[in-house]
Amino acid sequence: MSTFRMKSSTLRILAQTMLLLFWSAVAGWASEPKSSSPNGTNIFAPASTPAKSIADLSVFVLVTTGIIFVVVFVLLVYSVVKFRGRAKDAGREPAQVYGSTQIELAWTIIPILIVVVLFLATARVIHAIQDAPEPAGAVDVTVIGHQYWWEFRYPKLGIVTANELHIPVSEPGHPTPTFLQLLSADTDHSFWVPELAGKTDLIPNHPNRMWMDPQRTGVFLGQCAQYCGIQHAKMLLRISVDAPEDFAAWVRSQQKPAIEDAGVLDGRRVFERNACMNCHRVDGTSADGRFGPDLTHLMSRATIAAGAADNTHDNLRLWIQNPRAIKPGSLMPAMQLSDPDLDAVVNYLETLN
């Protein structure tokens, strides 16, 4: 008898500990952070309405399935302890139960109700996100996925940029959501910024859409979430959520043509004389390529190679000289320029603010 009580007490403590850890984890995941970190990709730290809806649904599903797990675990442990074999029962067959209407109804109706509730909750969130109307003041962005970088076009603003998306914060008194049209230039991609919205695929010849209304400023990180080739893992995203005045200043700077600097004319000539101009565009020059990122305001970006490296002098030089040293499998060719020409091109690109 004492052994049985000891086992029951141990099991009770174990069950209480599991419940305490479970609810502590849920509370931690559901809480919102005070500020945004550029390293954060936590779906339980939503900063936008779609992301919050998904996080709330995830917590609801987690709690529901957690309760099911605890109930099943407790019943299993109870059955093991209650009906364990005893020395005095050796050779005796246990009592046989031939059907129970109550038990059969319970294990049929309860799972059906649980599935229906989860289905309705999921359908409600999907409808609210996918069928949300676009208000008149929304920012429109066309996102085009390439191997292995992102192209961003603002059709109403006349801006084309790459890899780093700027959008305004959506303040409660002045909501400014951003609606994205998602296209693919080659193969399947998936646009995913966990703290701002869910995953949405970019499929060739099948436009998709999504939206976000970030409620705090900061830099949010994302990732292509669909395997699209050998450099899929380095097809990163940076979304800068700016205050209204900062976003307006960024728009004005991006709408300006490329800066003309007489001190780097040699670098511009090298850029236009080689294959660079066939792939890249620089507004105000003869370079009008469409295969690579628009470089008109290259130095306004914090990173190069779709977030694979910081936008520094040394990294930019290495990226032009040998792209595969930063991004193996990159489709950008090594230009094989002489050192003087390479330095001249880098100096020219560093004037493109």
| Burial of 135 (C-beta count, 10 Å sphere; 0-12/13-18/19+) | exposed
Res 96: pLDDT: 78
Cis amide leading into 348 (omega within 30): no
Query: Residue written as tokens 């319970």?
Result: 106
Band (pLDDT 50/70/90 cuts) for residue 23 is low
Mean pLDDT of 185-191: 94
Band (pLDDT 50/70/90 cuts) for residue 34 is very low
Is the per-residue pLDDT at 193 higher than 50? yes
Q: Percentage of the chain with pLDDT > 70?
A: 89
Lowest-pLDDT range of 38-42, 324-328, 344-348? 38-42
Is the per-residue pLDDT at 7 higher than 70? no
At position 126, the amino acid (one-letter code) is I
Domains of the chain from N-terminus onward: 2-86+99-130 (1.10.287), 139-246 (2.60.40.420), 262-349 (2.60.40.420)
Mean pLDDT of 22-47: 60
Mean pLDDT of 152-167: 95
Lowest-pLDDT range of 136-145, 231-240, 245-254, 285-294? 285-294
Mean pLDDT of 147-160: 94
Rounded CA separation 38/307 (Å): 12
Rounded CA separation 72/75 (Å): 5
Res 6: pLDDT: 47
Res 218: pLDDT: 93
Instruction: Return mean pLDDT, the chain.
Output: 86
What pTM was computed for the model? 0.81
Band (pLDDT 50/70/90 cuts) for residue 245 is very high
Is the per-residue pLDDT at 39 higher than 70? no
CA–CA–CA angle 122, 123, 127 (5° rounding): 120
Query: Residue written as tokens 């850890």?
Result: 21
Three-state secondary-structure class, residue 163: coil
What is the DSSP secondary-structure string of 233-280?
Answer: GG-EEEEEEE-HHHHHHHHHHHTSPPP--GGGHHHHHHHHHSTHHHH-
